């Protein structure tokens, strides 16, 4: 993990596998959830999702 001072540096993008771990879903369940949730952030570079948009979405949905 990269460390800058005392705070960990978070990557700009989050993978689908990481999303599954964070949300506690299996890959097929996660795919269906993303497809049915219209407010879910869109894919960005190389099929990954913006970490910032995902964190904002979690706050808006009350998951944080």
Residue 34 lies in a domain: yes
Tally of domains within the chain? 1
Residue 17 lies in a domain: yes
Mean pLDDT within 10-21: 91
Residue 4 lies in a domain: no
pLDDT per residue as tens digits for the range 46-56: 889 999 999 99
Residue 3 lies in a domain: no
Neighbours of 14 (CB within 10 A): 20
Report the C-alpha gap between 33 and 40 in whole angstroms: 9
| Model pLDDT, residue 4 | 52
User: Percent of the chain scored above 90 by pLDDT?
Assistant: 73
> Does 2 score more than 50 pLDDT?
no
Residue 16 lies in a domain: yes
Q: Determine which of 10-14, 18-22, 37-41 has the lowest per-residue pLDDT on average.
A: 10-14
Residue 6 lies in a domain: no
Report the C-alpha gap between 33 and 25 in whole angstroms: 9
Q: What's the mean per-residue pLDDT of the chain?
A: 88
Report the C-alpha gap between 7 and 57 in whole angstroms: 23
Range of the domain at 43: 12-61
Residue 24 lies in a domain: yes
């Amino acid at each position: 993990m990269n460390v800058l001072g005392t705070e960990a540096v978070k990557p700009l993008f989050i993978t689908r596998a990481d999303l599954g771990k964070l949300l506690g879903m299996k890959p097929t369940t996660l795919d269906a959830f993303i497809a049915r949730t219209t407010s879910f952030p869109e894919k960005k570079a190389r099929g990954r999702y913006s970490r910032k948009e995902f964190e904002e979405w979690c706050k808006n949905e009350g998951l944080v």
